[in-house]
Amino acid sequence: MTPVPPDNRPPGVPPQPPRADAWSQPAPARETRGVAFFVAIFLGILLVASAGLNVLLLLLSVGSLAGAGLGDAEAAYDEVHVAGERTAPLRVLKIAIHGAIGEAQNPILGAAGGMVTQVRRALQRAAADDVHGVLLDIDSPGGGVTDSDEIYDLIRKFRREQPKKRVIALFGDMAASGGYYVAVAAERIVARVTTITGSIGVIMSSYNVTEAAKKLGIEEVVIKSDRTPWKDILSPMRPMTVEERRMLTTIVDELFDRFVTVVDEGRDNLDRQQVLAAATGAVYTASQALERGLIDEIGNQDTVVKWYEQELGGEIALFERRRRVGFADLLFGSHTAVPTVDQSVGRLLTGSLGPRFLYFWEGGR
């Protein structure tokens, strides 16, 4: 009898090699990536981002150049009907001058630019053959001396070059100081019954914290030449001298005389003495302004439309141009919405490194 193997395998079958458990097998060696691999990935990401940015800047530059070549491309604006007959052949362009008057934004890469730039562009459009008049819609407490004067000059130049196109100013809540300065460039001024206007004058304001700084142990260190003793004039860290106050007051008086001259030239119904009588820095209601000859009529937008229809001899279409939001606006933070008075004043008062001479009503903040 053939003996049975101890592992119960049939006779003649060779023994099987022992089977190792899976968990007992050594793990295959993992492939390791060197530092060079991760550096290459990082550089690749940078390359893709750089290429995308270059394409973006190229598109913006092309758009900006195209806009400049087309005179601020018409495609970037929509014409919106405001009042009158939509299809009337006589068209009047409404230009908004809202908020503090200042050129706080730079019109680069197609961005909207500040108020001076926007008014300039609008007047360029108004010079087209299909525009028969301009309505200046003013709601402003004033602003920078130079900015106000530049807009005034732009309107006066437009009237000289386009004598057949009638220009009217219509006041909103307020048209004070620089807001009124701009308005006298128009041939006629209409104020709403609730308008506050006037504030003819110049102001420069600053803070002085000398006493507070002493209590806190703060001292300003100023390095200046003996040949420039006025270099730190209006420093908030020391009292103003009599000579410094006299110097600044002289400048304010000269700018005030300029304001009076502008009103005198713009208001044919007033002589210089009458302008000086009203130019005390005081603000007036519409009825008080009418009594002093600072405005021509109390009314509203319908009043203006009727006046244009009478003067132009037919129905008019009052429209305004609204700038579309472009990619440059989104990228650089510009927008088409009219800023609030608070936002405009903030830009005006923080747009320089120090105090400014202003045609501005402080109560209009």
Catalytic positions, please? 177, 231
> Which residues have a Cβ under 8 Å from the Cβ of 177 and sit 6 or more positions away?
141, 142, 148, 199, 200, 201, 358, 359, 360, 361, 364
Decide if 241 contacts 233 (C-beta within 8 A): no
Copy the structure tokens of residue 206.
């600053």
3 state SS of 106: coil
10 Å Cβ neighbour count for 192? Answer: 18
Length of the chain measured in residues:
365
Give, in degrees to the nearest 5, the angle at Cα 184 between 182 and 336. 30
CB 168 within 8 A of CB 186: yes
Residue 271 contacts residue 221 (beta carbons within 8 Å): no
Pairing of strands 196-198, 297-298: unpaired
Q: What are phi and psi of 140, to 5 degrees?
A: -150, 145
Query: In sequence order, what are the beta bridge partners of 294?
Result: none
User: Would you call 173 helix, strand, or coil by DSSP?
Assistant: strand
Say if residues 141 and 341 touch (Cβ distance below 8 Å). Answer: yes
208, amino acid identity: N
